[in-house]
Structure 1
Amino acid sequence: MADVFAQLSDNLRQSLSALSISTPTPVQAEVIPRILGGENVLFESETGTGKTFAYLLPLINKLETITDHQKVRIIVVAPTFELASQINCACKTVTSHKSALMIGGAPLKRQIETLKEKPEIIIGTAARLVELIHLKKLKIDGLFAAVFDETDRLVKKESIEDTSAFRNLLPGGTQIIACTATLSKQTKIFFADAKNVVMPPEDVLKKRITHWAIYAETRDKIDTLRKLLAAENPTKALIFTSRADQVENIYNKLTYKKVACAALHAKTDKQKRKAAIDRFRSGKEKILITSDLAARGLDIPDISHIIQMDFPSDEDFFIHRSGRTARAGKTGINIVIGDEWEMRHFAILEKKLGITVYPKEIRNGKVVQPCE
């Protein structure tokens, strides 16, 4: 085990060995000792670099030194159900300490019943956590740490009120940990009392992701997508579109052509969303179509292809979409299927990000370079 993992308990080291993890990522090597030392930390690191374990491992290590297991000790706040669920899964892979999800949109009664089972780790959305605390169902007098994951989303206009309300309820002396892939000025202000740790870029976007551009008129995009999927036969393909109604449109047209896939967007109910992600994660479904709600935070292994059916208006969305592949040291392919306007903007972004984009077309069932 690398030195930083040597600071962890035998239980955690055994869990990491079972996951075939023997060496910390750079962000883990930097952040774990700081959290073990009790620092308030705000850290920025690219997608796919191991941020979740960077905070979970040292916090669970601290949890293992506590003998009273009847109180909530750690709370992780996440901006979406998907990210909260994923963090909970990661938590269960390394510890037997009880964890529970407390998210908006799910039955409140059931969550209150779950709290009676005395979970020590809570992962949830800010508004639901505040609600449960006000109802005196979630007691946080034993809390020693609060984590804010994907902080740039948590401090955006639509979320900051709930995030602030939750933070204001925390007991004095609670260790504050926050992480993000893109560190904004607003996040720095919100976590002004935390030590900033900005990791040097690993250039995942440049070094481990191959970028393709495939031209298609809007009316031809879905047919182009179908041909692309047939030509590439991806291990797992995550297909993004900015509009929720387009998710259903793409799903319906692919399934009509006998292409097996799952769909996910903001209006999908929680159970169906979880089922779709679980099928995709397990490999039962190789193709998942989604709106940008899943662009941040989703960490699903072995995604070989990202396919963007439109060009996002926000550069960060492009980065986060692309970053769902090439995780944990692997490589991947990011493809934009775009019209003339989108291809022009892709060329501008290519220069800005310093990436290389390869024009491609589908001919005779294969992805090839366009004819000269």
Structure 2
Amino acid sequence: MNENTEAIKDFSSLGINGNLIIALNKLNISQPSLIQQKTIPEVLQKKNVIFESETGTGKTYAYLLPLIQNLEKSGSQEDKILILAPTYELASQIKTTASQITGLKASLFIGGTPIKRQIEVLKEKPQIIIGNPSRLLELIHLKKLKTQSIKALVLDEVDRLISVEIAEETKMLISNIPCDSQFIACSATLNQNTKNTLNRLFSNVEEVILPKEDILSKKISHYAIFAEIRDKISTLKNFILAENPEKALVFTSRADQVENIAQKLKYKKVDCMALHAKTDKKERKAAIDQFRNGKCRILVTSDLASRGLDIQGVTHIIQMDLPSNEDFFVHRSGRTARAGKTGINVVIGDEYEMRKYAALEKKFSLVVYPKMLYKGKLVNPGDVQGFDEK
């Protein structure tokens, strides 16, 4: 692969055609990210590619642009690309992105939506099909989704798609795709087990693994606020009042705690919305939309929203606990400091979680700053005495 990326300044240099560049310009996107520079030429050549790049580096465009261009170039209305995503939110985001850059019909197929309605949508012959493995498998088994004309398959957030919970569904779906289809997989976190699995499933795979830009350590400031479990929500409320974040995502590993946290914040007159796996689809969309457009600046969620979501302007990530899977810490934190910006990641934890946070600090080469809330302000513990003297 060509290591010289210095000369590449625009998308035309990568082989992207004029109509797609015009669409990108309307979105104020003019310069490809490093992962796009590395990946787009490979995908345009119809190679099988797996790639890893940190959060906020434009992975969706890295595969969508060349795949759409190849689809438009084919001229056949029967040809399709199939994109798998682990969550409704990510799938919906991919559909929106595709619709912004092409006139080809993109459609969403997700569980929880009436299947009859989705069967009707398939009659409109969408060429960009996006969804989760279970619903797409259901449509294939009903012989409503024909797979013989699928020219490319994408696994977005592939590590999640081949995790224990949904691996069998993903593999079964892959077995229904023509062997000569192009294959793309990507994630911010690709471990060796994931790569080994993909290499067993697909042949002649080109790997694009970028050196870490250390967005986690260089672009994000990490804070630790100690709080016993019983005091966490009041600490969260006080932090929000002290910092007044422009846009904050509040994470908890326990889905059943999402509503509890949101209700207690609302009781304290802190405007927020809740999002978790059991939230109704319309409510989920409304929560994301209101958070995205700034009508609501605090979104409380489970790890459902940590995967792949690209919401502009998230200034603060607040973690009410630490996830058991360290990759989730990376995905949570990566919802801020996107597209070259900076952000703040805060962990509100008890003694056990502070020890766990210290281990993550060492593993990811972070600098974690202890903070405390004092007289309505967020301060360094060592500054409390001086604060009193002012």
Same fold by TM-score greater than 0.5? yes
Shift in Å at residue 364 of structure 1?
2.2
In structure 2, stretches of 5+ residues that fail to align are 1-7, 384-390
Q: Which residue of 1 aligns with 2:177?
A: 170
Distance 2:166 2:193 in 1: 12
Question: What are the superposed Cα offsets for residues 103-142 of structure 1, whole Å, 9 maximum, x if unpaired?
Answer: 1221100100111111110001111111111211112222
- Over the residues paired in the alignment, what is the CA RMSD in angstroms? 1.3
Q: Which residue of 2 aligns with 1:251?
A: 262
Question: What are the superposed Cα offsets for residues 242-290 of structure 1, whole Å, 9 maximum, x if unpaired?
Answer: 1112111111101111111000111112221111111111111100000
**Aligned match of 2:164 in 157, 166, 179?**
157
Distance 2:362 2:247 in 1: 28
- Check the 8 A contact 1:5/1:24 in 2, yes or no: no
Distance 1:246 1:130 in 2: 32
Q: Which residue of 2 aligns with 1:333?
A: 344
2:136 pairs with 1:129: yes
Question: What are the superposed Cα offsets for residues 13-55 of structure 1, whole Å, 9 maximum, x if unpaired?
Answer: 0011111111111100000000001110011111111110000
Distance 1:221 1:211 in 2: 18
Q: Which residue of 1 aligns with 2:64?
A: 56
- Check the 8 A contact 1:325/1:332 in 2, yes or no: yes
Give secondary structure in 2 for the equivalent of 1:170. Answer: coil
Q: Which residue of 2 aligns with 1:142?
A: 149
TM-score (structure 2 length as normaliser): 0.92
2:204 pairs with 1:196: no
Shift in Å at residue 67 of structure 1?
2.3
Give secondary structure in 1 for the equivalent of 2:246. Answer: coil
Distance 2:144 2:179 in 1: 20
**Aligned match of 1:371 in 362, 365, 382?**
382
Q: Which residue of 2 aligns with 1:310?
A: 321
Identity of aligned residues (%): 58
Distance 1:61 1:67 in 2: 10
Q: Which residue of 1 aligns with 2:104?
A: 97
Residue identity matched to 1:154: L
Distance 1:72 1:278 in 2: 32
Distance 1:201 1:189 in 2: 21
Residue identity matched to 2:131: G
TM-score (structure 1 length as normaliser): 0.97
- Check the 8 A contact 2:12/2:18 in 1, yes or no: no
- Check the 8 A contact 2:224/2:369 in 1, yes or no: yes
Q: Which residue of 2 aligns with 1:113?
A: 120
Shift in Å at residue 185 of structure 1?
2.8
Q: Which residue of 2 aligns with 1:65?
A: 73
- Check the 8 A contact 1:72/1:121 in 2, yes or no: no
Distance 2:246 2:96 in 1: 22
Shift in Å at residue 314 of structure 1?
1.8
Q: Which residue of 2 aligns with 1:24?
A: 32
Shift in Å at residue 4 of structure 1?
4.2
Give secondary structure in 1 for the equivalent of 2:43. Answer: helix
Shift in Å at residue 72 of structure 1?
4.8
Shift in Å at residue 369 of structure 1?
0.8
- Check the 8 A contact 1:4/1:33 in 2, yes or no: no
Q: Which residue of 2 aligns with 1:262?
A: 273
Distance 1:190 1:132 in 2: 25
Shift in Å at residue 164 of structure 1?
0.8
1:194-343 to 2 correspondences below 5 Å: 194-343=205-354
- Check the 8 A contact 1:237/1:286 in 2, yes or no: yes
Stretches (4+) displaced over 4 A? none
Distance 2:54 2:251 in 1: 20
- Check the 8 A contact 2:106/2:129 in 1, yes or no: yes
Q: Which residue of 2 aligns with 1:44?
A: 52
Shift in Å at residue 3 of structure 1?
4.6
Higher deviation after alignment, 168-177 or 179-188? 179-188
